Structure 1
Amino acid sequence: MTSDVFCFLKKFVLFALTSFFTGTLAFASDTKSPVFAYSVPVDASILGGGLALTAASYTVQRYGGLPEWDGKKFDISDVNAFDRWAARPYNRALDYTGTGVLAAGMILPAAVFGTVAALGELESGELPGLAIMYAESWAVAVSTKNLLKYAFHRVRPYMYFDTIDSGAIDNFDFELSWPSGHTTNAFMSAGFLTYVFAAYYPTSQWRIPLTAVSYAFAAGTGVLRILSGNHFITDVLSGAVLGTLCGIGIPFIHREMAKNSSINGTSGGNVSVAVSPLGFNVSLKL
């Protein structure tokens, strides 16, 4: 690994961990330079690659020959003690409620930045770029969690109880527990909102309340996924980390592109993105 890549990884991990545990990031305000920069090759690679991997993962689910349920209950003693104590049977009401909380949390970034733009505190021309970054974050998060699900085939908690809802195991879903997709998307949205808002408004009094609200939606989604019997605790914790990294990582790349473009006088900085069946390879020269 080159020193440039190592430097980038150190900076990214520091930003990601800070946002995950505090939800707040401070940046120096710089009205002379764009906060985020975009590049057709980079954005097309990230978004197109994410969508392609997502489509491929769902194709694997549909036609990949995943094993079907044999009708027998699984033995809860096979589950590690940490996950076992919080395992629950399936609860349809809590399942749907969790999906509703997730939907509200994922709409929050659009609501916040749309409102800020309507109030004249954000140029309306910034919104398409934010939409692209959000779509990229979602595509990377979904494709990554799907590939992990199909690689590990972890059985969901509700399969260890007598009250198994047959409707919940359609499309081989019963063996796609790790990591939690709902939680991944929820924390992706929360990480995206807190990072981007702090980048635009590092001294705003709304930064901490927005952080609290966005992560409350994310945490609520994760808790409901456990209580509904859809996921183990480690599924949710893994989804929280993965989602936060995706929600922060994509804007982080675009922010570094803006910094490089200001220094080098280029439109996209020194960034290259390669997509393979194993995931994404991002090269950023700092």
Structure 2
Amino acid sequence: MQSLTGWTQTTPSPYELRTGCEVILLGAGVASVGASLALDDNLTPLDAATIPTLNRRAINGFDRPATYQFSKTAGRLSTLVLAGTAVAAGAVGISPNARQDWKTVGTMYVETILLANGVERSVEKLVTRNRPFVYYPNAPLSEKLTTDARRSFFSSHATNAFASAVFAGEVFRHYYPNSRLKPVVWIGTLGLATATSVLRYEAGKHYPTDLMAGAAFGSLVGWGIPKLHEVKNRHSALKQLDIQPWSTGQATGLYARWTLK
């Protein structure tokens, strides 16, 4: 008998763990996090004399409206809504049919979060961009004087929100392929991720391009990790994935290439 989810317990699992795959993906995730920690964090914060001289007209027209935004309440809410996307991913992972594969789903989610955060934090340290609220006269000076005020690109909240949202949607649709709830899960999780991004904008924390980059990268990771674990795709997908470490002596990182066929 099928439930509302449209899945029976006798159906084979859509995902599986494979030693070679997990070594590569967990290794890439840990290495990217390690690279983000190893990168020099000697960024000089803005000083009180420089801040009044900053001109928002130097910001491109698409991003400039963000410099008129600032809200501590929106900032706090964005973190709460972000937590909601993680809860949604967890709920899918412990749902009746996914629960039997909790090790597989759990490993995939850990890989997703490690890789998404490792790469995002590495880029954040390599790219200096003042947050929008720096240009907002009424924002607290104390917040403008921190190094974090110069870490706008790209958005960690958007990255994590969309990584979790797409991961949840992908995993649900594979465990419940005939479910009438699939649109609900997709709309719900992507709605939470979008709300997170909008709140970061209203908080004055990010420009639209920061959020778009985070959403795109997070979505890619949230889709790609489950894709690599699909039973029917695991061999061909891994053959198309090439990940190698690199180092210049001053910086370290990972080179990844996925050949589409």
Tell whether the structures are fold-level matches, with TM greater than 0.5.
yes
Equivalent of 2:66, from 86, 89, 92?
Answer: 86
Whether 2:135 is the aligned partner of 1:160: answer yes
Structure 1: which amino acid aligns with 2:47? D
For residue 66 of structure 2, give the secondary structure of its aligned residue in structure 1.
Answer: coil
Task: Extract unaligned runs of 5+ from structure 1.
Answer: 1-28
In the other structure, the counterpart of 1:57 is 36
Q: Percent of pairs identical after alignment?
A: 27
C-alpha distance 123-238 of structure 1, shift in aligned 2 (>3 A): closer
C-alpha distance 103-77 of structure 1, shift in aligned 2 (>3 A): same
Task: Extract unaligned runs of 5+ from structure 2.
Answer: 1-7, 246-251
Whether 2:152 is the aligned partner of 1:177: answer yes
Cα offsets for 1:68-99 (capped at 9, x unmatched):
21222221010001111233343221111100
In structure 1, how many angstroms separate the alpha carbons of the residues matched to 2:26 and 2:232? 21
In the other structure, the counterpart of 1:3 is none
Taking the TM superposition and a 5 Å limit, the aligned residue runs for 1:114-125 are: 114=94, 116-117=95-96, 122=97, 124-125=99-100
User: Once the 2 structures are TM-superposed, how far is the Cα of residue 216 of structure 1 from its aligned partner?
Assistant: 0.8
In structure 2, how many angstroms separate the alpha carbons of the residues matched to 1:153 and 1:86? 17
In structure 2, how many angstroms separate the alpha carbons of the residues matched to 1:104 and 1:231? 20
Cα offsets for 1:251-276 (capped at 9, x unmatched):
11111xx2157x99xxx975765342
Whether 2:229 is the aligned partner of 1:254: answer yes
TM-score (norm 2): 0.83
In structure 2, how many angstroms separate the alpha carbons of the residues matched to 1:170 and 1:181? 20
In structure 1, how many angstroms separate the alpha carbons of the residues matched to 2:16 and 2:183? 25
User: Once the 2 structures are TM-superposed, how far is the Cα of residue 197 of structure 1 from its aligned partner?
Assistant: 1.1
In the other structure, the counterpart of 1:25 is none
Equivalent of 1:102, from 58, 82, 91?
Answer: 82
Aligned 8 A contact 1:42 1:271 in 2: no
Cα offsets for 1:134-182 (capped at 9, x unmatched):
1111111111212222222111101112223345357611111111110
Aligned 8 A contact 2:67 2:136 in 1: no
Aligned 8 A contact 1:190 1:218 in 2: yes
Whether 2:170 is the aligned partner of 1:201: answer no
| Greater helix proportion | 1
Cα offsets for 1:10-69 (capped at 9, x unmatched):
xxxxxxxxxxxxxxxxxxx9x775411212232132123212322331343xx4311221
Aligned 8 A contact 1:154 1:178 in 2: yes
C-alpha distance 139-213 of structure 1, shift in aligned 2 (>3 A): same
TM-score (norm 1): 0.76
Cα offsets for 1:119-148 (capped at 9, x unmatched):
xxx163301110110111111111121222
In structure 1, how many angstroms separate the alpha carbons of the residues matched to 2:169 and 2:100? 20
